[in-house]
Chain A
């Protein structure tokens, strides 16, 4: 406990330096803007800004990204409530009741509850992050390659199950991502793999052009697909922002429940903020005394999911800080940033770079506070960004993506890869493939390969020894259960539907 308090104090001393405060503010503003703009989520913003963090130190870059992530969650709720447009996927649920509340003249109250929920969740998840990440990193120090391989395999299996869309498509994306991760010189033997004699490819396919292409350029292409449409933006008066006592009484418990749920779901691989909002909405409806109000403007349906998506952000940082394994695409970006700054994420990071860890934690508190102070009074300013015509905004994003990719290695090959993966991302999106598994597998794949080869070397090729280690076995059982139980349930349900008794019941 003393260690946590000391670390946190040191973190605040660092995060309160003017330069880091500026980065936190910049991240919060940029995050809110990207959250407000439909399509361009936190991932796109991080991808675009990744290369520009090179001019900062690692702590500054991490503070900026934490601000963007939280800010996007705040910004997404604003357009959901006022315009019925989810700024990003995690705000879809907020549209249902938030927009209904706006229709009843309670837009201000919904915005305040969403912001307060996000603040409460941010604080709770940061507390959780501190405790769980420290605890887990201590345990992870005892992990060997076999355990890291097991964690990676479980992560990818869960990702395939949870990332939405068809399971087969998710597996294909994971394998394509892993295949891309094998391009370059093999670090153990120095053998070139799939480089076709190209010197630049010897260093491997950089994560940045792939991520920017798939999330940035593909997003632009999807957006310009449709003709321009203008939004009528509703104004919110400052004096309308305060919820009534009754509204607070209903919203507060939902915020705490949403925070807890969100944090726990954030620990699981996949699009955790999105899943957290849906789970929170369903559980709030189940526990509510007035379930009939859900869908008609229930304040719990705004408070719970908004808290859940913010708490999931904190939860998602745990596996990255404690194990060095990203479980969400946004965390893969954060990992990429750490690696660009010469840091190797893993259990040792918290011990060796404790100043960075605590500064990021402290900056999350500060960022959350900044967001609540900034966002409510400036809600009309942020919403007015939607008035910028997208046919001006989109070329700007393309140019930023191109400069961003070029600035890291001054490589023309990276620029070509950006174009190629922009096209690939656009086609895959149109075909219903999820891009997140590809990106994550591309990052986790090389780690998996290293762990597997090291583990096989250590055990002398004994696979059973690798599987039957206590932690590995527990992880494999857990992953198998999570993976196969829903499949079995589906098969059982399908079997039941085919029985003559069921057919009779259905047909009357």
Chain B
């Protein structure tokens, strides 16, 4: 019977092989040049070739079973917080899309609040207040203290002016 972990190994191995193949084939679009005058595709083709060879070997090993990869099968994971992992990843992926339209404080507040809720479920007010403190604190530290240029609206401009010019 195939365990979840074995299935995962196979998917990852096949993904790596797919990536290698994609890179290798893509590198042929570039000019190779010759040994005297190597072109922009010279190194990518070489990298692609070895990448395909090594990942193919890896796929072969994984498909042959756990003993051939040298990995011991881990006991099934207990109590893993997959919801939090997926949530944090989603927050990191969504942040670039909301950062400029919503500006720094509001977008950071949303992302932080969701992450805290996922990690401390049930503590809504606490999570909101902590997120607000983090967003405002981060803005003051990074924008004012370190001079980092962050997307700003009226709230950020107001906060930036507190305490006079830097």
Which residues of B lie under 8 Å from residue A5 when comparing CB positions? none
**DSSP majority for the A interface?**
helix
Task: Bits for B72-100, please: 1 = Cβ < 8 Å to A, else 0.
Answer: 00000001110011001101110111011
A172 touches B36 (CB 8 A): no
Task: Bits for B10-34, please: 1 = Cβ < 8 Å to A, else 0.
Answer: 0010001001100100100011001
Minimum CB distance partner of B70 in chain A: A166
Which residues of A lie under 8 Å from residue B71 when comparing CB positions? 432
Residue A398 contacts which of B43, B51, B61, B115 (CB distance < 8 angstroms)? B115
A224 touches B150 (CB 8 A): no
Task: Bits for A407-422, please: 1 = Cβ < 8 Å to B, else 0.
Answer: 1001011011011101
B93 touches A419 (CB 8 A): yes
Bound-state Cα–Cα, A186 to B31, Å: 11
A457 touches B36 (CB 8 A): yes
**DSSP majority for the B interface?**
helix
Tally A-B pairs: CB < 8 A: 169
Which residues of B lie under 8 Å from residue A432 when comparing CB positions? 71
Residue B43 contacts which of A51, A220, A452 (CB distance < 8 angstroms)? A452
Q: Given the known inter-chain contacts A169-B58, A193-B40, please indicate yes or no for A398 contacting B88, CB distance below 8 A.
A: yes
Bound-state Cα–Cα, A168 to B50, Å: 11
A172 touches B51 (CB 8 A): yes
Shortest Cβ distance from residue B145 to the other chain A in the assembled complex, whole angstroms: 9
Residue A461 contacts which of B9, B34, B88 (CB distance < 8 angstroms)? B34
Bound-state Cα–Cα, A460 to B34, Å: 10
Which residues of B lie under 8 Å from residue A158 when comparing CB positions? none
Asked if A57 lies at the interface with its beta carbon under 8 angstroms from chain B, I say no
8 A Cβ contacts from B43-75 to A = 43-44, 47-48, 50-51, 54-55, 57-58, 61, 69-71
Asked if B124 lies at the interface with its beta carbon under 8 angstroms from chain A, I say no
Size band of the interface chain A makes with B: 35 or more
Size band of the interface chain B makes with A: 35 or more
Q: Given the known inter-chain contacts A168-B58, A220-B88, please indicate yes or no for A403 contacting B38, CB distance below 8 A.
A: no
A399 touches B81 (CB 8 A): no
Which residues of A lie under 8 Å from residue B138 when comparing CB positions? 399-400, 403
Bound-state Cα–Cα, A3 to B155, Å: 56
Q: Given the known inter-chain contacts A412-B96, A453-B42, please indicate yes or no for A182 contacting B47, CB distance below 8 A.
A: yes
A-B contact pairs, 22 of them (CB 8 A): A171-B50, A179-B47, A186-B40, A221-B85, A224-B85, A225-B80, A392-B130, A395-B119, A398-B92, A398-B115, A399-B111, A403-B138, A407-B148, A412-B96, A416-B96, A422-B89, A427-B12, A432-B71, A448-B43, A457-B37, A461-B35, A463-B35
B85 touches A225 (CB 8 A): yes
A172 touches B58 (CB 8 A): yes
Q: Given the known inter-chain contacts A179-B51, A193-B44, please indicate yes or no for A403 contacting B96, CB distance below 8 A.
A: no
Q: Given the known inter-chain contacts A227-B81, A418-B92, please indicate yes or no for A391 contacting B116, CB distance below 8 A.
A: yes
Residue A172 contacts which of B55, B69, B149 (CB distance < 8 angstroms)? B55
